[in-house]
Amino acid sequence: MNSTEERQSEQALHGQEVTVVISGCDTGDARMVFDALRAAFTTDRASVDVPRKLAERRPTAWVAAVDVSEERVVSGPVLLGAPVSVDVLGGYWAVERLRRSLAHAFDVRVVGTVSGDQEEEVRLRLRSRSADHGPTTEQ
């Protein structure tokens, strides 16, 4: 089997949709992450679906489903007010594709993983990256 067939087979086996949960940040930073995701992939969050806090005393989490089957180029670094925690759940191939894409806009650090039989959950820590440095990711 050639490498293209192997990739297509792996994609079909592990799915192409990833669930993304953003928490522990302000609404502006959550929106910046969703905007970067929407620029790179198709998501179920429309651009007018702006993250809002619903309760002042309770933690807020925002969720999106992201289809990573067709990737577009993210134009460059995105400025965040503070680091953002992002939990990503999906097939191994899909989670890795999303992580690599986010590295075009942010410094991405993997801070935790839970592996399953056919999918994994990964906690990422996103920070602003400077415009003069290329994509970076840390494990």
**Neighbour order of strands in the sheet with 119-128:** 42-43, 61-67, 17-23, 84-91, 119-128, 106-115, 136-138
Q: Are 32 and 82 in contact (CB under 8 A)?
A: no
Spatial separation of the C-alpha atoms in residues 35 and 47, rounded to whole Å:
7
The per-residue pLDDT for range 79-101, each reduced to its tens digit, is 999 999 999 999 999 999 999 99
Query: Which residue ranges of the chain lie beneath pLDDT 50?
Result: 1, 10-11, 13-14
Residue 64, pLDDT score: 94
Residue 53, pLDDT score: 63
**Residue 13: half-sphere exposure toward Cβ, Cα within 13 Å:** 11
Q: What is the pTM of this model?
A: 0.78
- DSSP 8-state assignment for residue 7: H
